[in-house]
Structure 1
Amino acid sequence: MIKQKTIYIISSILLLIGCTNDLDITPEDPNIFLADEFYSTPESYLQGLAGVYGNLTLTGAEGPDNSNISGLDAGTSQYGRGLWNMQELTTDEVVWSWENDPGLRDMNRNTWTSDNVILRGFFGRCMTQVAFVNEFLRQTSDEVLDSRGVSGDLRTDIAVYRAEVRFLRVLAYYHLMDLFGKAGFVTENDPVGAYQSPQYERPELFAFIESELLEIIPDLKDPLQNEYARADKAAAWMLLAKIYLNAEVYISENKYADCIEYCNKITGAGFSLASDYANNFNADNDSNSASSEIIFPIISDGVVTQNYGPTTVMINGQVGSLEQNGEDFGVSAGGWGGALRVTRQFSETMLEDVYTIDDRNTLITEDRPIDITNIGNNGTGYIIAKWSNKTSTGQNGSATEIVDTDFPLFRLADAYLMYAEAHLRGGGGTIDTAVGYINQLRIRANNPNTVSAGDVSLDFILNERLVELHWEGHRRQDLIRYGKYTGGTYNWSWKGNAATGIAISEIRKVFPIPSASLAANPNLTQNTGY
């Protein structure tokens, strides 16, 4: 199985990775990982590539409780979990019950500061990714490969590997641009240990991300032709579509036509919707029909790549404290004791007549009030059953807490909805194509309420995105793009630290730069208002 082979290499190579003490730039000792002795065989270059990918999944070399970012809990510093915490817990889609867990109360209530450990962990993990990529690129430059006598097919393969790690670096800078609005900028052309890197803000980051993606696309493998969980042209197209859809937020420019262009490339690349919506979120989503829909995942495995990443959090967290229904999802009956619930506003959308018969609506409402009037009372608020550590055939995953379910960072359904939104915002395309995509998603979900052109509006698309993509790390970005995140136009439970929700400041469209990162790099400046 390709996934098992890939994760074995990742976990092996991470034994060689040093610790990251600085949250801005570089591994403690790159030579531990990237010495000439390591790159002594053709296979070692693929292992080095796997080590860079491993930063998306693993937190350290000594198991799920270990972090190679010093001073942080392993779960806090996991890439996908940090991303999920920031994009979801800060919105109307989910509430975390255990507010004594460091940093999470402030995520729930939109009251974070620059000392929040969640922010510190994710900023550090992204910069660690940049550091690993930069060193891999240094060790695979033409000059270095010439000195090692590397030629022929291996040289050709390494060109693909270099394009893939450059994608991973761009992905990290994309998340920093979206979440923090700025970052220290460093590439392989800077010296190792260049802690005081210049600050790039959104315009510079956007330009770099765009140009880098366009440059590497020819060297990436064609869609669906790479090994599972490795980047291909479609992953790069998806990231371009994402930055273009949000360009008015990032750089105050309309790039919806560019978004349409790259959505068309994705939808014409041979991907297809999973036969069953639930297959995207099952333990075998790397091999069931979802493998034709998922464009780029963060992998998880209950035995080999153990980590407390987003799918482990969601599957254990969605188990109800009253229901004790964890065995339905392939974990312990009690799961994590009702850690996750949804807000009244989320539930009200799912309970609209048009979504009551829809496979995407997994609300569990019996014997529960819709409101969460006290976050500590985990018997209030509805829960959901979207994610599972069971396979599409009903078998349990390989372990009962850390799950086998991969996190679909990008999937085809999102491209369908991006196309529809970009069309409505004036990007071109046709309403017939947009309606067709929406109806494909509804038909796949066994929702009989198909739509026509007159039904489709921007607010309609926002609701469709919630129903299709909830808990997948998109909601904060969507609400900001729609002007509904800050201010008081749209309030949800516990927004602004009030049970019924209140307006929050415009400054919270970006997170503060973590205090530790400011201390490490004096070229970084704090975001306005923090």
Structure 2
Amino acid sequence: MKIYKFITATVTVITLSVSFQSCSVEPEYYSQSVPELFFDTQQKVYQREGRAFTHWAWCMADAQAHSNFIRLQEFTTDEMLVPSRYNDWYDGGAYLRGYNHDFTPTTPGVYDAWRAFSMGVAQAWSAKDDIDQYVDFNKLGFPEGSRDAVLMQLQTLSAFFYWFGLDMFGGVPLYTSTQGEIQPRATDVETFNFIDKLLTEAIPKLPKKTTLGAQETGSINQAAAAMLQARLYFNAQSYIKKDMYSECAAICQDIIDGKYGTYKLDADWTNIFGFNNDRSSEIIWSVPSQYAVSERSVGPNSNHYGMGEYWDNGTIGSRNNGYCLVPSLDKNGKSYLTGSANAREGQTYRLGSPFAKFNDQDVRKQLAAYEGNGKFRGMFYFGKMVNPVNGKVCHGGNRQFKPTDTLLIVDQIARIIPMPGSEADHGKEGARWGEENSGVRLAKFSPTPWASNQTLRGNPDIPVFRIAEAYYMLAECKLRANDKAGAAKLINDVRKRYFTSADPDPVTAANLDEWRMLDEWMIEFIGEGRRRTDLVRWNKYTTQSWWDHPADGESKAFQNRFPIPEQAMASNQLIEQNPGY
């Protein structure tokens, strides 16, 4: 059983009774709770702290790839998309506009992202204000150091939300409390320095993990705050046009060396995303999830309608057949990948083709299936959908495949299957022309158990920071410093767990360049909500083409940031729009 320190805050309700005496009506208060009286137990302190963390969990892991943060980080890149499948998922072109970088102040999802970060800041500072002002930690019997631990976790959480805002929008209004006047946007540099200061103050006051594999509960420790500061420095060039790769490298090395707590790479990748991953040695910070308590990303919208039979578990919801990987093959089965022996005639791409970039000997590149006893295999749904463990079948959804047909998922997005009435569109390929079986599906998060093991459902936590990220950030820093051999070793230290024998395509000083580095980021962290940031850092997000996405061009570099949504500007008239929109 998992232990959850962060519990949704109790909403204080004032109950009143009205008694009528003569002609006067006066309220009689039978019970009330004000901050001075509310904090009478340790549990209530954690409840108040926890409200900010429940918002964070919603931002990071609500339906996983459809969460407010992940959607814009993935579905606008060469990794993942939501294609239109005839009339399914067209939604007025909302998903296609995001994939095509057709961003405006009214683009669906952009306001959700602004609201996610700004509400998170408000929740964190509000909780910190209340606890700082009204809680006597000594009187409530807290252990020594608890006050700093609680307050600095909330301060770090606020820094995380501010980083979220900086990454997506640039400079944002800065607050250290919920009190005071409405502020205009700070500059990028001011926002960057503000986040850096919050983290520098918080890190030494946060608790440190001292036992390898000790349970993660969603709380913030020193390593999580250090990872956030490393991310800040790692992307400083794109945030504030300042090279801080050496500063990032120093923090990453300290994280790997255990300065901020005890972690190590997990030898088995399924431990990182499996049913007991709250005790993975690799996870530094994760969103808690537990069956029948707070299940995160159970039944993501990528799953086909007929997956209940394949899983031997029909209770998983959200089988809406939505998002998938950007395809590797054209309508004729030729590769979109530059340099492939099976390359199509005409345009090929250095970016994209994520499924093809996983080596065929990689243990993740097999059909995802539950094996029993808490074990599972594979990270994708592709090909003929027959469960390799129990022989169960995913049947069609009465679109291009009949309910009696076994579904065949292809690494293509095109009109391939003839459909009466749609002859004019037959043979078209692109994000607008998907079919029921188009696109490989990612099954990385929350593996699905059989119904007989139902209590495992929803148990995998959702990783936010893993020590593997410190390895990859340090590797890229070394690459940029021309230490390609040192960079290759760090990446190979992670890659080796994915092969039962020797890695058939290790990273070397000879083959490591910016393209291979971006491929390695994609392969290791696909679906984890960082792809857009990586492309921006390498100046590829607006300058490069990938499948069905022409380069925006140098004149569209402003699209490395999203527009400020009109709702945000309407609620705070001091906020100015990003240039270019």
Normalised TM-score (structure 1): 0.79
Return the offset for 1:37: 2.3
- Give the corresponding residue for 2:148: 159
* Structure 1 residues 126-179: Cα deviation after superposition (integer angstroms, max 9, x where no partner): 2122112212222233x6446x97487456312110010101000000000001
Q: How does 1:249-264 map to 2 (within 5 A)?
A: 249-264=238-253
Is 1:116 aligned to residue 116 of structure 2?
no
Report the 3-state secondary structure (helix = DSSP H, G, I; strand = E; otherwise coil) of the residue aligned with 1:295.
strand
Q: 1:274 aligns with which of 266, 270, 282?
A: 266
- Counterpart CA distance in 2 for 1:181 and 1:397 is 44
- Counterpart CA distance in 2 for 1:145 and 1:342 is 49
Return the offset for 1:264: 0.7
- Give the corresponding residue for 1:371: 413
Q: Check whether the contact 2:216–2:285 (CA below 8 A) recurs between aligned residues.
A: no
- Give the corresponding residue for 2:535: 479
Q: 1:359 aligns with which of 357, 360, 363?
A: 363
- Give the corresponding residue for 2:580: 529
The AA in structure 1 aligned to 2:179 is P
- Counterpart CA distance in 2 for 1:94 and 1:33 is 48
- Counterpart CA distance in 2 for 1:171 and 1:17 is 31
- Counterpart CA distance in 2 for 1:79 and 1:134 is 27
Q: Check whether the contact 2:312–2:451 (CA below 8 A) recurs between aligned residues.
A: no
- Counterpart CA distance in 1 for 2:80 and 2:560 is 18
Q: Check whether the contact 2:326–2:354 (CA below 8 A) recurs between aligned residues.
A: no
- Give the corresponding residue for 2:479: 424
Report the 3-state secondary structure (helix = DSSP H, G, I; strand = E; otherwise coil) of the residue aligned with 2:294.
coil
- Counterpart CA distance in 2 for 1:79 and 1:491 is 20
- Counterpart CA distance in 1 for 2:572 and 2:463 is 33
Q: Check whether the contact 1:298–1:408 (CA below 8 A) recurs between aligned residues.
A: yes
Aligned residues: 471
- Counterpart CA distance in 1 for 2:433 and 2:34 is 47
Return the offset for 1:409: 1.2
Q: 1:155 to 1:320 in 2, by over 3 A?
A: same
Q: 1:205 to 1:331 in 2, by over 3 A?
A: farther
Q: Check whether the contact 2:535–2:541 (CA below 8 A) recurs between aligned residues.
A: yes
Return the offset for 1:81: 0.7
Structure 1 gaps of 5+ residues are 19-31, 60-73, 496-500
Is 1:503 aligned to residue 492 of structure 2?
no
Report the 3-state secondary structure (helix = DSSP H, G, I; strand = E; otherwise coil) of the residue aligned with 1:408.
strand
- Counterpart CA distance in 2 for 1:324 and 1:152 is 51
- Counterpart CA distance in 1 for 2:190 and 2:453 is 46
Report the 3-state secondary structure (helix = DSSP H, G, I; strand = E; otherwise coil) of the residue aligned with 1:479.
helix
* Structure 1 residues 182-204: Cα deviation after superposition (integer angstroms, max 9, x where no partner): 2221112x626x4x223123211
Report the 3-state secondary structure (helix = DSSP H, G, I; strand = E; otherwise coil) of the residue aligned with 1:213.
helix
- Counterpart CA distance in 1 for 2:33 and 2:460 is 29
- Counterpart CA distance in 1 for 2:324 and 2:475 is 29
Is 1:461 aligned to residue 445 of structure 2?
no
Higher share in helix:
1
Q: 1:215 aligns with which of 201, 206, 209?
A: 201
Q: Check whether the contact 1:89–1:95 (CA below 8 A) recurs between aligned residues.
A: yes
Q: 1:527 to 1:397 in 2, by over 3 A?
A: farther
- Give the corresponding residue for 2:387: none
- Counterpart CA distance in 1 for 2:293 and 2:578 is 39
Report the 3-state secondary structure (helix = DSSP H, G, I; strand = E; otherwise coil) of the residue aligned with 1:90.
coil
Return the offset for 1:263: 0.6
- Give the corresponding residue for 2:497: 444
- Counterpart CA distance in 2 for 1:107 and 1:398 is 37
Q: Check whether the contact 1:341–1:382 (CA below 8 A) recurs between aligned residues.
A: yes
CA RMSD for the aligned pairs?
3.3
Is 1:82 aligned to residue 124 of structure 2?
no
- Counterpart CA distance in 2 for 1:481 and 1:275 is 29
Q: Check whether the contact 1:79–1:126 (CA below 8 A) recurs between aligned residues.
A: no
The AA in structure 2 aligned to 1:385 is A
- Counterpart CA distance in 1 for 2:480 and 2:139 is 50
Q: 1:320 to 1:33 in 2, by over 3 A?
A: farther
Normalised TM-score (structure 2): 0.73
- Give the corresponding residue for 1:337: 320
Report the 3-state secondary structure (helix = DSSP H, G, I; strand = E; otherwise coil) of the residue aligned with 1:124.
helix
- Give the corresponding residue for 1:62: none
- Give the corresponding residue for 1:434: 487
Report the 3-state secondary structure (helix = DSSP H, G, I; strand = E; otherwise coil) of the residue aligned with 1:441.
helix
Is 1:96 aligned to residue 85 of structure 2?
no
Is 1:229 aligned to residue 218 of structure 2?
yes
Deviates more, 1:154-163 or 1:513-522: 154-163
Return the offset for 1:341: 1.4
Q: 1:33 to 1:80 in 2, by over 3 A?
A: farther
Q: How does 1:289-438 map to 2 (within 5 A)?
A: 291-306=280-295, 311-312=297-298, 315-320=299-304, 324=307, 327-328=310-311, 336-345=319-328, 348-352=353-357, 355-361=359-365, 362-363=379-380, 364-366=382-384, 367=408, 368=410, 370-372=412-414, 373=429, 374-390=432-448, 396=453, 398=455, 403-426=458-481, 431-438=484-491
Which protein has the larger Cα radius of gyration, Structure 1 or Structure 2? 2
Q: Check whether the contact 1:114–1:513 (CA below 8 A) recurs between aligned residues.
A: yes
Return the offset for 1:334: 8.6
Structure 2 gaps of 5+ residues are 15-31, 84-88, 329-350, 366-378, 385-407, 415-428
- Counterpart CA distance in 2 for 1:169 and 1:326 is 43
- Counterpart CA distance in 2 for 1:2 and 1:387 is 18
Q: Check whether the contact 1:114–1:515 (CA below 8 A) recurs between aligned residues.
A: yes
- Counterpart CA distance in 1 for 2:270 and 2:221 is 25
- Counterpart CA distance in 1 for 2:165 and 2:13 is 23
Q: Check whether the contact 1:371–1:380 (CA below 8 A) recurs between aligned residues.
A: yes
Q: 1:375 to 1:35 in 2, by over 3 A?
A: farther
- Counterpart CA distance in 1 for 2:494 and 2:292 is 33
- Give the corresponding residue for 2:571: 520
Return the offset for 1:433: 4.0
Q: 1:276 to 1:375 in 2, by over 3 A?
A: farther
* Structure 1 residues 62-119: Cα deviation after superposition (integer angstroms, max 9, x where no partner): xxxxxxxxxxxx969x998100011001111111242318954432332232123412
Report the 3-state secondary structure (helix = DSSP H, G, I; strand = E; otherwise coil) of the residue aligned with 1:230.
coil
Is 1:46 aligned to residue 32 of structure 2?
no
Q: 1:329 to 1:108 in 2, by over 3 A?
A: farther
- Give the corresponding residue for 1:240: 229
- Give the corresponding residue for 1:136: 127
- Give the corresponding residue for 1:10: 7
Deviates more, 1:87-96 or 1:274-283: 274-283
